[in-house]
Amino acid sequence: MKSFTVEEITQIVGGMLTKVEDVKISQIAPPLLSDENTLALALGEEEIANLSKSKAKAALVPLGVNLDSITTIEVERPRLAMMKLLNLFYTPPEVNKGIHPTATVHETAKLGENVQIGPNVVISHDAVIGDNTKILANTYIGGGAKIGQNCLFHPGVNIGDRVQVGDDVILHHGVSLGADGFSFVTENPDNIEQARKEGEIKEANAKHVIFKIPSIGSVVIGNNVEIGANTAIDRGTIENTIIGDNTKIDDLVMIGHNCRIGKGCLIVSQVGIAGSCVIGDRVVIAGQAGLADHIEIGADTIITAKAGVTKSFPEKSIIVGIPAVPRKDFIKQLKTMKDAQEIFAKFRKYEPLLKEFEDNINHDHNS
């Protein structure tokens, strides 16, 4: 079991130590779940208050929190310090050394040094796997795929033909890279084309046939990218679908064909991005947001949860609502709705007087 002194941990997180007693730290936990060898993580007001009920002898706290009864390590950015500690105590998934006997590696595939291949992995023809990459059980690597160095693929990952993955990439369970894009065409204009052009559906062609448009592009994943479980990124129709360096994608995200996602983006669970979207650098897309096809989102933009984005937005936008609008416009809409409720309430109040007035006018006209 790993164990560290409070001095060692203070140096690792770059904190300020106020020492009450010597403590050996072998794990981290919230205050109420901590014992004498646990560093209590008191990052917020509630956790700080719970330290009085904790068995912990040491705690990680925000800068300025100094308690006489317990050893404290004060840090300016508690969440950043927590990340460093979790990496300190993290145990990576186990994978066998070398190539598992049940794995299938094509004779033309090229494996770098210290590559580890788990059970039932399939590596197809002409695939290239970089040094120190770990590929866990039941993963498929397509023909001509190029995988960088120091990658970690969890079980059940599927990599299509000619997909390129950079260095230091983490793919979680069930990730799909390089499936065909959802791209089709009909011989005559279909309902969608009519609706877009005319604003209505005038004719329905019951005999129309839907033809699949094959995808001959691929997917390119940059360096230091992490992609969550069961996320799917489709290959481009002609050009590649691209994910920029340092971008982090949550579970259950769908990114359509031809999309170009910038560097350092955060894309949260259940986001759907339709084909041919261009997303700038450092964009944050919150959970369950949806983006229509062929739109551009400028760098440093935030798209809030459940937003329905149907048009392009410039850089540094904060996008809210369905259909999505800039945040300041959304606030105006809320105010307008509130004002409308007040106006309607007043109308209800005076509606009998209005009716009486109208009845009198009608009576005068009929006299």
Which of the four CATH numbers 2.40.50.140, 3.40.1390.10, 3.40.50.740, 3.40.50.300 does domain 4-89 have?
3.40.1390.10
For the segment 202-206, the average pLDDT, to the nearest whole number, is 73
Indicate the residue type of 55: K
Per the structure block, which two tokens stand in for 153?
């693929």
> Which residues does residue 147 pair with via DSSP β-bridges, in sequence order?
129, 165
**Is residue 100 annotated as part of the catalytic site, yes or no?**
no
Per-residue pLDDT at 359 exceeds 80 = no
Summarised one tens digit per residue, pLDDT across range 233-284 is 999 999 999 999 999 999 999 999 999 999 999 999 999 999 999 999 999 9
Q: 230 pLDDT exceeds 90? A: yes
Nearest to 236 by CA among 188, 270, 294, 276: 276
Q: How many CA atoms lie within 13 A of 141 on its CB side?
A: 37
pLDDT at 366: 65
Distance CA 113, CA 108 (A): 16
Quick check: 365 pLDDT over 70? no
Domain 104-325 has CATH 3.20.20.410: no
Per-residue pLDDT tens digits for 56-75: 999 999 999 988 889 999 99
Output the pTM of the full model.
Answer: 0.85
Q: What is the pLDDT at residue 326?
A: 83
pLDDT value for 335: 79
CA end-to-end span of the chain: 101
CA distance 333 to 301: 21
d(CA 75, CA 148): 35
Active-site pick, 100, 106, 208, 257: 257
Is the pLDDT at 364 greater than 70, yes or no? no
Helices then strands, each counted (H, E), the chain? 5, 39
List, for residues 25-59, the tens digit of each pLDDT value.
999 999 999 999 999 999 999 999 999 999 999 99
Beta bridge partners of 85: none
Dist. CA 270–CA 215, nearest whole Å: 24
Q: Report the chain's mean pLDDT, rounded to a whole number.
A: 92
